[in-house]
Amino acid sequence: MNRQKWETQNPDQRLFEGQAPIGYTRDAAYAEFQEHQKGQLKEGYLADMVLLSEDVFGTQPEELNSVKPLFTMVAGKLVYEAS
């Protein structure tokens, strides 16, 4: 989201609000043919998720580096919790 062009004639390659989370979740599951079991928060899907300290959709792009993980779950089990 904060990527700057290397040269003015190059195309804009930034991701815009909403594209990055979808790319790391739903679209990533689709790319590995796993969209039927992960990539969304749905009943029966694998429970891999991260709870973040801020709403990334409401955070300014230049402030995203201040967002921290509060906990991480893999296969429905808590594997990290911030102290």
Name the residue with tokens 């959709």.
57
pLDDT of residue 72: 95
pLDDT of residue 82: 96
Domain of 73 in residue numbering reads as: 19-81
* pLDDT tens column, 4-62: 788 888 888 887 777 888 888 999 999 999 999 999 989 999 888 899 999 988 888 88
Cα distance between residue 14 and residue 27, in whole Å: 17
* 3-state secondary structure (DSSP) of residue 18: coil
Is the pTM here over 0.75, yes or no?
A: no
Number of domains forming the structure of the chain: 1
38 occurs within a structural domain = yes
46 occurs within a structural domain = yes
Contact 70, 78 (CB under 8 A): no
Name the residue with tokens 């969209």.
35
Cα distance between residue 64 and residue 55, in whole Å: 10
30 occurs within a structural domain = yes
pLDDT of residue 73: 92
Q: What is the DSSP letter of 15?
A: -
pLDDT of residue 34: 95
Q: At a CB cut-off of 8 Å and minimum separation 6, what does 38 contact?
A: 29, 45, 46, 48
